[in-house]
């Protein structure tokens, strides 16, 4: 259908794609000529007929078109997908340890709506846009061929298209095997730490790869330390602290399942005597620890996104402020705090402001060790704001003298 359908933008619209992004919203379109089905690839022209590129259209979504290419003569066929996936894989080989990594990160790899994570010899696929959904099995086959050429045999693929975003595209949530079944508890090693990743029932795709090098950055600060890891999920920061030689580590999460998996992961690494996990609401636990006079050499705050929309940013700021005040009060004088936000709506300026407010409220002074973002296998595409979401600070916390 792509040859027959032309979408023309209103005058002065298309700001996102003109600045390098990939989205065209429903209110930016002046007219559509030709027939199409949702999910088809269409041509996009500016108001004056200037060709802007091709992308898939979906009238169920506010993001009406997601651009695939700026080349009007580019056919969207198997060669195109192979080129995009090869580029994504070659980039990972240059920038990260590929034993477990994100191989495709949606818009940032010019494959809007597609996420593919590799956990050792298993792929986990998440399809979040109708346009890419119809190609997902082809894409998986091509990616397996690309990896096979590098001597990497993928033994199984699991689909985790069970995110709410699919509902906005008019699709149902889906999860299950693509191809033959396999054991969905997958062993991986990251930064020298062993984990069992539950690709079927773990959060999102089973494990958060975006913090890989932030976890590594914490290792040197945790030697001989007493460490508190809040919102530990399956124990990753706590286990990095343990493997680096921490004296005593407490990891806390509100999910019983996560705590059970974290405890299993500690045993897997022979750290069960020094790294322990408990199920608590962190907001309730921290004031309790403070009232008991507890102090830690290192406190790590890795909360879930407190905001998933622009409207709730103010409320989220209260949550981040509160958790950081509590966390800072538990760091002994001269100890270290790692604190982060994984919501792209909570931008760098707001997050930084909130931490400053928390420090003043807690009567602590912060010496910044470093500021980090997500690992390079989650590249930040300038002009695609949602691809920049993780803000990660490491501070030394000193009492006001």
Q: Catalytic residue at 222?
A: no
Instruction: Please give the Cα distance from 296 to 226 (Å, whole number).
Output: 5
- Collect all residues with Cβ–Cβ distance below 8 Å to 365 and sequence separation of at least 6: 359, 397, 398, 399, 400
Instruction: Please give the Cα distance from 164 to 173 (Å, whole number).
Output: 7
DSSP label of 373: -
Residue 2: per-residue pLDDT = 44
Which CATH fold topology does 6-69 show? Answer: 2.30.130
Given the residues 222, 230, 340, 342, select the one marked as catalytic.
342
Tokens of 376: 């390079």
Task: Please check whether the domain covering 208-399 is classified as CATH 3.40.50.150.
Answer: yes
Q: Of 275, 233, 374, 394, whose CA–CA distance to 327 is shortest?
A: 394
pTM: 0.94
Residue 3: per-residue pLDDT = 56
For the chain, counts of helices (H) and of strands (E): 11, 20
Residue 155: per-residue pLDDT = 97
Phi/psi at 61 (5° precision): -110, 145
- Dmax (CA) for the chain in angstroms is 72
- Collect all residues with Cβ–Cβ distance below 8 Å to 17 and sequence separation of at least 6: 23, 24, 44, 52, 53, 67
Instruction: Please give the Cα distance from 102 to 100 (Å, whole number).
Output: 7
Q: Specify burial of residue 148 (Cβ count, 10 A radius: 0-12, 13-18, 19+).
A: exposed
Residue ranges matching CATH 2.30.130.10 in the chain:
6-69
DSSP label of 99: T
Q: What is the CATH number of domain 78-183?
A: 3.30.750.80
List, for the chain, all residue ranges whose pLDDT scores fall below the cut of 70.
1-3, 307, 401
Q: Of 27, 34, 31, whose CA–CA distance to 13 is shortest?
A: 27
Residue ranges matching CATH 3.40.50.150 in the chain:
208-399
Residue 238: per-residue pLDDT = 98
């Amino acid at each position: 259908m792509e040859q027959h359908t032309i979408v023309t933008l209103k005058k002065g619209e298309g700001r996102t794609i003109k600045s390098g992004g990939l989205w065209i919203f429903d209110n930016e379109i002046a007219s559509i000529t030709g027939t199409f089905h949702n999910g088809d690839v269409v041509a996009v022209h500016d108001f004056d007929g200037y060709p802007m590129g091709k992308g898939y259209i979906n009238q169920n979504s506010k993001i009406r078109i997601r651009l695939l290419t700026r080349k009007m003569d580019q056919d969207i066929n198997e060669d195109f997908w192979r080129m995009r996936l090869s580029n994504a894989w070659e980039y990972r080989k240059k920038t990260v340890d590929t034993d477990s990594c994100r191989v495709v990160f949606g818009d940032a790899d010019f494959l809007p709506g597609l996420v593919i994570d590799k956990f050792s010899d298993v792929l986990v696929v998440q399809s979040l846009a109708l346009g890419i959904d119809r190609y997902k099995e082809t894409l998986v086959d091509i990616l397996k061929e690309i990896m096979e050429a590098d001597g990497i045999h993928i033994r199984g693929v699991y689909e985790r298209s069970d995110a709410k975003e699919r509902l906005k595209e008019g699709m149902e949530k889906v999860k299950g095997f693509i191809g033959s079944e396999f054991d969905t508890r997958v062993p991986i090693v990251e930064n020298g730490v062993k984990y069992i990743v539950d690709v079927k029932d773990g959060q999102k795709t089973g494990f958060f790869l975006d913090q890989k090098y932030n976890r590594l950055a914490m290792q040197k600060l945790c030697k001989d330390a007493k460490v508190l890891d809040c919102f530990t999920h399956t124990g990753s920061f706590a286990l990095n602290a343990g493997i680096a030689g921490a004296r005593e580590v407490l990891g806390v999460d509100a999910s019983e399942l996560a705590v059970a998996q974290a405890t299993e992961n500690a045993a897997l690494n022979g750290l069960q005597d020094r790294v322990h996990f408990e199920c608590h609401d962190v907001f309730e636990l921290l004031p309790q620890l403070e009232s008991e006079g507890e102090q830690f050499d290192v406190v790590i705050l890795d909360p879930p996104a407190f905001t998933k929309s622009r409207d709730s940013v103010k409320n989220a700021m209260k949550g981040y402020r509160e958790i950081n005040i509590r966390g800072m009060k538990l760091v002994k004088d001269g100890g270290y705090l790692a604190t982060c936000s994984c919501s792209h709506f909570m931008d760098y300026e707001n997050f930084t402001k909130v931490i400053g407010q928390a420090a003043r409220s807690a009567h602590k002074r912060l010496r910044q060790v470093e500021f980090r973002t997500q690992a390079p296998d989650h590249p930040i595409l300038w002009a695609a704001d949602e691809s920049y979401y993780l803000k990660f600070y490491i501070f030394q916390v000193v009492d006001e003298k």
